[in-house]
Amino acid sequence: MAIIELSERFTFYGCQGLFQNYVQRPLDGSLGRGALGRGHQTATALTTFFSLWCYVTPILGAVVADQYLGKYKTLIIFACVYIVGLLILVLTSLPTSLENGAGMGGFVAAILIIGIGTGGIKSNVAPLIADQYQRKKMAIKTIVKTGERVIIDPAVTIQRIYLIFYCCINIGALSLLATPYMERDIGFWSAFLLCLCMFIVGFIALVLGRKMYIVRPPQGSVITDAFKAIWIMFKYRNMNAPKPSYQEEFGRKHATPWDDQFIDELKRALQGCKVFLFYPIYWVVYGQFSGNFVSQAAQMNGHGIPNDLMQNFDPIAILFFAPIIDRVIYPGFRKYGIKFGPINRITFGFLVASMSMLYAGVLQHFIYETGPCYGHPLECPAAVDADGVAHGNNIHIAIQTPAYMLIGVSEIFASVTGLEYAYMKAPPTMKSFVQAMYLLTNAFGYAISEAFIPLVGDPEIMWLFVGLCVGSTVVGVIFWIVYHKYDALEDQNNALDAKHEDLENKRAMHATGNEEEGHGDVHRVNK
């Protein structure tokens, strides 16, 4: 299952990481390998729009999955759409296509279609992976070799599943170790073709493994029912108003195709969605690494290193620190009774992200303080070499590394926890939809970023980094003040899944006439 996500992320980052150069630089190579020559602001605007679009479309994928087709079939269909978009990108990036003016139109069409494809994948693959773990209740297990009795906590297991899942994402993101060199030495089309081939490999793995997955069938009008229930909540200004028990007690006249359990689960999902309201600011900060950080790297002396290669330090940081955090930091906290719940983890992610922006702002200041072009990198005659190619100021590109690594560490706490929180707080029948609502916060973040486009020039970009540092810090503190009490309710909220499983088992036994209690903790809804 993780293979399709690894392949999709390989493709996504391998392509997206090149988009800034592809759009910004001219085809003649005067500023390094380029294609469309539309300048810094246009490149940033289009790459930001692409990211925004990719996080709006998960809503479509979630509705299709939860109400009509189920997660697996939805993945198959949207993967095919993704392939079509990649084919357009490859064909319109060929030298002949670029020379004949097909590049810009092809690029816009490609990112629109790829965005639809990635939306259907992103909203479904993460919850489908977590669905493979079926335990809902805590249990005590005795380790045979040592005789030690340990507690199996489903919440901790889901936390680890998503951390491993995120590591797979970032293994895929290492495609940027290859694609920048292919861009520079062969052409953009070769890098895009590599990404297409890798995605096809993941798609084949998804198709061949179809009989191995535990798949929940779609639940018909579950999303429609959820919005009906929310309307009743607003109408009566009471979160319990949609419950059948409440309707009976107070004589309300509403048809209720759900039970009390569904409303309790919906209330928990709404709590999760409230937490997501603060995420757009985090995504504004996160989005800098694939846009303005790439342009910042171009303003420094690369010493043969492509400017878009530096993005790899983000996934490298995640792959290095994630096992340490999972195997050492988190268990250490639990051993000594330190509660580091999801709200605390997300808050820490916000603060680490702000440190990345602070570092980028200080680095930008030193770029302006360094020759030969000082406050206008790449724009003075002294920057142009004998081949007519402009080089950045005399500050080594490697100095940018900590900015990327801090972003990566922040993702472990903010982004991974967000995925986990979306899954754990969603009703079992609405996992994809709530995941899509979490992903939608990315879109709002990129929409905010679009408003900052006028600030991506020199010297305004330095103050953009400083402003994002202050904003992320302030929002992180406010986030903790507002929601820190939710960490104390984690066990209570997570117990709803066990209650849901018990109800489903009782209904199944009643339907089959089998009144014996089932054994084991694996409940396969469909296979």
Give the tens place of pLDDT for each residue, 176-234.
889 999 999 999 999 999 999 999 999 999 999 888 887 777 766 788 888 989 998 99
Q: 30 has which bridge partners?
A: 32
331-373 pLDDT, tens digit per residue, is: 999 888 888 999 999 999 999 999 999 999 999 999 999 989 9
pTM, two decimal places: 0.82
Calculate mean pLDDT across residues 411-415: 96
Helix (H, G, I), strand (E, B) or coil at 521: coil
Does position 509 have pLDDT exceeding 70, yes or no?
Answer: no
What is the model's pLDDT at position 89? 97
Calculate mean pLDDT across residues 144-169: 79
Does position 323 have pLDDT exceeding 90, yes or no?
Answer: yes
Residue 163 belongs to a domain: yes
What is the model's pLDDT at position 195? 96
Range of the domain at 28: 2-220+263-494
Tell me, what CATH number does 89's domain have? Answer: 1.20.1250.20
The closest alpha carbon to 236, from 221, 253, 261, 258, belongs to: 253
Alpha carbon distance 201, 183 (integer Å): 22
Does position 253 have pLDDT exceeding 70, yes or no?
Answer: no
Residue 501 belongs to a domain: no
Cβ within 8 Å of residue 86, ≥6 positions away? 11, 15, 110, 114, 192, 195, 196, 199
What is the model's pLDDT at position 526? 36
What is the model's pLDDT at position 510? 54
Q: Out of 75-89, 377-391, 441-455, 493-507, which region has the weakest mean confidence (pLDDT)?
A: 493-507
Calculate mean pLDDT across residues 39-59: 90
Residue 175 belongs to a domain: yes
What is the model's pLDDT at position 498? 58
Domains contained in the chain, number:
1
Does position 519 have pLDDT exceeding 80, yes or no?
Answer: no
Residue 74 belongs to a domain: yes
What is the model's pLDDT at position 513? 54
Mean confidence (pLDDT) of the chain: 86
70-96 pLDDT, tens digit per residue, is: 999 999 999 999 999 999 999 999 999
Does position 68 have pLDDT exceeding 50, yes or no?
Answer: yes
Calculate mean pLDDT across residues 303-311: 86
Say if CB 378 and CB 392 are below 8 A apart: yes
Alpha carbon distance 256, 238 (integer Å): 16
Residue 97 belongs to a domain: yes
Does position 392 have pLDDT exceeding 60, yes or no?
Answer: yes
Does position 256 have pLDDT exceeding 90, yes or no?
Answer: no
Alpha carbon distance 42, 38 (integer Å): 6
What is the model's pLDDT at position 506? 58
Does position 499 have pLDDT exceeding 90, yes or no?
Answer: no
Say if CB 283 and CB 471 are below 8 A apart: no
Residue 503 belongs to a domain: no
Question: Residues 177, 178, 180, 182: what is their CA dihedral angle, to the nearest 10 degrees?
Answer: 170
Helix (H, G, I), strand (E, B) or coil at 152: strand
Q: What percent of the chain has pLDDT over 90?
A: 51
Residue 246 belongs to a domain: no
Residue 112 belongs to a domain: yes
